[in-house]
Chains A and B, each alone.
Chain A
Amino acid sequence: MDPIIEGIIRAINLILSGDPEVLGITALSLLISGSGTVLSCVWSIPTSVGLALRGFHGRRVVKGLFNALMGIPTVALGLFLYLLLSRSGPLGYFQLLYSPYAIMIGQSILVTPIVVSFSTSALESVDPDLRRLARTLGASDLQMYGVVIREGFWGVVLAVIAAFNRAFAELGIAMMLGGNIRNITRVLTTAIALETSRGDIALSIAFTLILLTITMSLSIAVNLARKSTT
């Protein structure tokens, strides 16, 4: 039998049988990438609101910078953060390297330009006359921003989902900052790399199927939810 087809059949069996290793790695991946994305939103969404709604000197430069940073190679960011977090680095004191927190922090930084750029575009695309309308109905500055965020809500959600997918599917940071330690920092992408190098194609395919199913399901679910509410 073709090793790929054999791999797919074994992968499906592993997933359906609820293999504890597969489930554990999947859960850890969701937890780390989910937390990293949420952490990034803490600073990225307010930054987007500022960029989209406040006119200030250098705004275009800042927007351009975030756009450029979207394509940063994960290994480059991984190396930079490795040097910061390593024992001899400036943040070595916190002993975060090779922990799930290191991956989470790395991924939160990695996805920041994605959340900022996409959310800024989403908020900028809200009809500016709606701000004027809110004003004539008595809205304060803060309430007017609330209107823009509500109107651009689904665009911001899509930005967050794109960021999560990027974090969930990246390898460089997880490998360099997490070290692929079993039951501690092994996530789907590092597990795929490991099992492929070991020659266990079936397990690699199982992890890949899970990775693709989660990212695609999430995007489809958000698009369906958006369509049902607009």
Chain B
Amino acid sequence: METVDITKSYDGLLALDRVSIAADVGQITAVVGVNGAGKTTLLNILAGIDAPTSGRVLIQGHEVDTNGLRTHCTMVFSRNLMFRNSVYENIAYGLRISRTSDRDVPAKVASALALVNLEEFEKRNARKLSSGEQRRVAIARVLALERDVLLFDEPTANLDPANAMIIERAIKESARSRAVLLSTHDLSQARRLSDRIAHLYKGRVVEEADPSRFFTNPRHEATKLFIDGELEF
């Protein structure tokens, strides 16, 4: 997946300014930046729930519109969102509307839950789970769909280390056969998980590099300050 000069403005305010980044199958691309840098806006556009003001998104070299993106990409939101029913139904929903045969749904749900260590949770009420468990269900819900591109918006924000570790493992596992784009302001997580890191600052990608170069030899002043924890929005 590749974005070409994606721009997004709200009432004249520029949220994204000619953003061009790429995410390849088998790789995790981390988009880092302070709060308000435009990370979630970018992910919303790639998930097909918001349209860019200008620019293009290419999947396997072909331009894809907002509706088309929904069939290629799916997203885990930064806040826990559960439908008002069981864990099983939460995961099965996406499978059913993507016309997975009824016979295959139970196996796919079980396999997705196993990836996030929630094998026994199928019948539990999703909204009554802990925050960490809900986030893991959200991850299982997108893993079950087998889309080309997975988008994770701050996937471990406000979670305890045990849940964060399970989620990071699932993200790594999911990247084996897909392109993964991860938005985070946790630099240590970006270093641990990603193959590429893009620094988004005031709606622009100011630095893009592999983790070792990103942390040892950043070129943009804003990136240096961000790594040192001194960058303010």
Contacts and interface: CB of A to CB of B under 8 A. Distances in A.
Query: Are A and B part of the same complex?
Result: yes
Interface of A: 127, 129-130, 132-140, 143, 147, 150-151, 230
B81 A137 contact: no
Contact of B84 (A129, A132, A151): A151
A129 B83 contact: no
Interface stretch (B70-78, B202-210, B225-233): B70-78
A200 B93 CA distance: 59
A133 B71 contact: no
A134 B75 CA distance: 10
Contacts of B94: 137-138
Contacts, number: 50
A138 B84 contact: no
A138 B97 contact: yes
B216 interface: no
B112 interface: no
Candidate in B44, B47, B93, B142 with the most chain A CB atoms within 10 angstroms = B93
The majority secondary structure among interface residues of chain A is helix
Given A136-B49, A137-B141, A137-B145, A143 B97 contact: yes
B137 to A, nearest CB: 12
A74 B136 CA distance: 54
B79 interface: yes
Interface in B120-149: 141-142, 145
A138 B98 contact: yes
Contact of A130 (B73, B75, B81): B81
Contacts of B155: none
A136 B71 contact: no
B84 A150 contact: yes
Contacts of A138: 70-71, 74, 94, 97-98, 145
B70 A135 contact: yes
A147 B83 contact: yes
B48 interface: yes
Interface string B60-104: 000000000011011101010101100000000110011000000
Contact of A139 (B79, B97, B142): B97
Contacts of B74: 136-138
Contacts of A137: 74, 93-94, 97-98, 141-142, 145
A130 B75 CA distance: 13
Nearest to B69: A136
What 7 A-B pairs come out closest when comparing CB atoms? A137-B94, A136-B75, A133-B81, A136-B47, A132-B49, A135-B49, A138-B98
Contacts of A140: 97
Nearest to B71: A138
